[in-house]
């Protein structure tokens, strides 16, 4: 495995056999030997209009996709509202606010200032290759593995499997007895979620929502939260426009779109990053009188600042996306 082969331009030129071999090497050297690896499969990913083939694998019950590295990726924003149509600067929503509440813009300079304040600084970075979870997880859950209902086998953290096996089985037995066909089942300590593979449930252990403890747990297993740069790369694929869809307010059908075959965080949900003071995504926090206020959280560079964290606010819907950064020293 050569580092250059894991960069997007070189990855595209590799044969299918070479890509598969490189992916196997990534799994061998960067995934903890304690993590079960299953369901290796080919994936079709997109960056803008470019479509390319990559691979994914199921690690301890969750599908992770390999994203090649990319040099000179543009992140952040520095153009204010200059690239939006003038009609979009002051377009208002149907939300009625008293005059003394929320924002009131009078000039383009007001709009420019708002956009620049609510987006990260423009920068050019080199993005390392990575394995990243296709689906985000609630920050109050930690995925511990997967339970197969047909075999009674638990794949994942065996300490957790042994500790909670009876609770898993009792929860599923009760659901069958009550004819409960819900995809998500809850017990005293666990969340069981169907939808990954047939006859399987992902097993999440409930947590107290403490971010530092969550990150420590992930790192002990060889994972981490995404960095701010990685979040913007995964959300926007280095797009030179304010939104992935372009420089105009995204239509409803264009919202919650993600490149690379990833699933977006729930609407209005915040995504944790390695920086404990930076929550990405989320909802409008400035009143929402204008359409731009409501649409800006869809931008990869959007950062609403300390207001989003409201540190300790239990009502926030927060998620995280486990990742493994692939760096060859």
My answer on whether 163 and 22 are in the same domain is no
Query: pLDDT at residue 112 above 70?
Result: yes
Q: How confident is the model at residue 314 (pLDDT cuts 50, 70, 90)?
A: low
Query: pLDDT at residue 293 above 80?
Result: yes
Asked which of 183, 206, 229 is the last residue of a domain, the reply is 206
Specify the range with the lowest mean pLDDT, choosing from 49-53, 75-79, 126-130, 218-222.
49-53
Asked which of 206, 224, 258 is the last residue of a domain, the reply is 206
My answer on whether 219 and 91 are in the same domain is yes
My answer on whether 104 and 230 are in the same domain is yes
Asked which of 159, 180, 206 is the last residue of a domain, the reply is 206
Range of the domain at 185: 141-206
Quote the CA–CA distance of 292 and 102 in Å, as a whole number. 13
Domain-embedded: residue 133: no
| pLDDT for the residue numbered 282 | 85
Q: Which residue's structure tokens are 């965080």?
A: 265
Percent pLDDT > 70 in the chain is 95
Q: How confident is the model at residue 125 (pLDDT cuts 50, 70, 90)?
A: very high
Query: pLDDT at residue 98 above 60?
Result: yes
Quote the CA–CA distance of 306 and 311 in Å, as a whole number. 8
My answer on whether 124 and 232 are in the same domain is yes
| pLDDT for the residue numbered 187 | 94
Query: pLDDT at residue 7 above 80?
Result: yes
My answer on whether 166 and 308 are in the same domain is no
Query: pLDDT at residue 191 above 90?
Result: yes
Q: In terms of Cα–Cα distance, which of 315, 314, 206, 215 is closest to 273? A: 215
Query: pLDDT at residue 308 above 50?
Result: no
pLDDT tens string 143-170: 999 999 999 999 888 888 999 999 999 9
Ranked by mean pLDDT, the top range of 160-169, 201-210, 281-290 is 160-169
pLDDT, average across residues 186-215: 89
Query: pLDDT at residue 20 above 60?
Result: yes
Q: How confident is the model at residue 309 (pLDDT cuts 50, 70, 90)?
A: very low
| pLDDT for the residue numbered 111 | 95
Q: In this structure, are residues 118 and 111 in contact, taking their beta carbons and an 8 Å threshold?
A: no
Q: In this structure, are residues 224 and 10 in contact, taking their beta carbons and an 8 Å threshold?
A: no
Domain-embedded: residue 19: yes
Domain-embedded: residue 280: yes
| pLDDT for the residue numbered 304 | 78
Query: pLDDT at residue 306 above 60?
Result: no
| pLDDT for the residue numbered 241 | 94
My answer on whether 181 and 316 are in the same domain is no
My answer on whether 122 and 232 are in the same domain is yes
My answer on whether 225 and 113 are in the same domain is yes
Q: How confident is the model at residue 313 (pLDDT cuts 50, 70, 90)?
A: low
What mean pLDDT, rounded, does the chain reach?
89
The tally of domains found in the chain comes to 3
Domain-embedded: residue 136: no
Rounded to two decimals, what is the model's pTM?
A: 0.91
| pLDDT for the residue numbered 310 | 52
């Amino acid at each position: 495995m050569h580092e250059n082969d894991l960069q997007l331009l070189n990855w595209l030129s590799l044969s299918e056999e070479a890509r598969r071999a490189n992916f196997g090497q990534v799994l061998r050297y960067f995934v903890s030997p304690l993590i079960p690896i299953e369901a290796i499969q080919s994936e079709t990913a997109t960056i803008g209009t470019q479509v390319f083939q990559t691979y994914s694998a199921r690690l301890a019950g969750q599908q992770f996709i390999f994203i090649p590295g990319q040099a000179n990726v543009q992140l952040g924003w520095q153009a204010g509202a200059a690239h939006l149509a003038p009609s979009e600067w002051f377009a208002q929503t149907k939300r009625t606010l008293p005059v003394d509440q929320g924002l009131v813009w009078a000039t383009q300079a007001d709009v420019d200032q708002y956009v620049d304040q609510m987006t990260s600084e423009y920068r050019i970075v080199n993005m390392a290759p990575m394995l990243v979870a296709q689906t985000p997880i609630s920050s109050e859950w930690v995925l511990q593995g997967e339970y197969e209902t047909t075999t009674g086998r638990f794949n994942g953290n065996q300490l957790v499997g042994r500790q909670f096996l009876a609770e898993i089985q009792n929860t599923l037995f009760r659901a069958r007895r009550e004819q409960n066909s819900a995809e998500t089942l809850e017990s005293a300590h666990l969340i069981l979620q169907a939808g990954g593979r047939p006859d399987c449930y992902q097993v999440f252990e409930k947590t107290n929502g403490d971010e530092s403890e969550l990150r420590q747990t992930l790192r002990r297993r060889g994972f981490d939260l995404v960095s701010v740069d990685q979040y913007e790369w995964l959300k926007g694929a280095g797009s030179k426009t304010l939104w992935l869809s372009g420089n105009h307010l995204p239509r409803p059908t264009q919202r919650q779109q993600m490149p690379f075959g990833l699933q977006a965080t729930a609407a209005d949900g915040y995504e944790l990053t390695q920086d404990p003071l930076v929550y990405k995504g989320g909802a409008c926090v400035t009143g929402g009188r204008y359409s731009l206020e409501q649409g800006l959280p869809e931008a990869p560079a959007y950062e609403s600042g300390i207001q989003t964290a409201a540190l300790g606010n239990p009502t926030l819907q927060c998620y995280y996306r486990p990742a493994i950064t692939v760096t060859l020293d």
